[in-house]
Amino acid sequence: MTVFVADNVLEGVKGGAIKPFFLGGGCDGAKSGRNYYTEFAEKAPKDTVILTLACGKFRFNKMDLGDIDGIPRLLDVGQCNDAYSAIQVALPLSDAFECGVSDLPLSLVLSWYEQKAVAILLTLLHLGIKNIKIGPSLPAFVTPNVLNFLVENYNIGPITTADEDLGQILG
């Protein structure tokens, strides 16, 4: 994000034009029934910005979501390996608002299809990121005990429907 765009994003958030941010990404495939992320992007309020990375973005990255005062509502931050870069985009916001990244109005909604998506989750956990939703199917390693640990320690949980998750995130 250039300084000009970063300044505009900060002004948009501080002025109330931009509400929450969503990071939607991860691994996904063309398997039928996996349209959660497309629905999520379509139904996200017009005052939200969606950051996207990895193959999951191909579900919605060609959609015209418009912009907020010249800032595109859909910002592509790269591929699977770029989860760290996505957090680097969030760090200036957390500095400006004097809080941690997990305290920002940023919700992570990650898709899982291939096991390499574990690298994204481990990167985010290492960075101390919490409040992540994952799905539509959980990775094979997420046993009930592992899920319970992730929920209790990181507030990570499975996605439900786009409508329910947006309702919960937006309060």
pLDDT for 152: 94
For 10, phi and psi rounded to 5 degrees? -60, -45
Q: Tell me which amino acid residue 153 is.
A: N
State the Rg of the chain over Cα.
15
- Alpha carbons 37 and 74: distance in angstroms, whole number: 13
CATH class of segment(s) 3-170 = alpha beta
pLDDT at res. 5: 65
- Residues near 171 by Cβ (< 8 Å), separated by ≥ 6? none
Distance CA 69, CA 15 (A): 11
Cα distance between residue 168 and residue 171, in whole Å = 5
User: What is the pLDDT, as a whole number, of residue 81?
Assistant: 65
Q: Could you write out the three-class secondary structure of 93-114?
A: HHHHCCCCHHHCCEEEEEEECC
- This prediction has a pTM of 0.83
pLDDT tens sequence for the chain (171 residues): 444 566 788 888 889 999 888 888 776 666 666 788 888 989 999 999 998 887 777 778 888 999 999 989 988 888 766 777 777 778 888 888 899 888 888 888 887 766 677 777 888 888 888 889 988 877 777 889 998 999 999 999 888 999 999 999 998
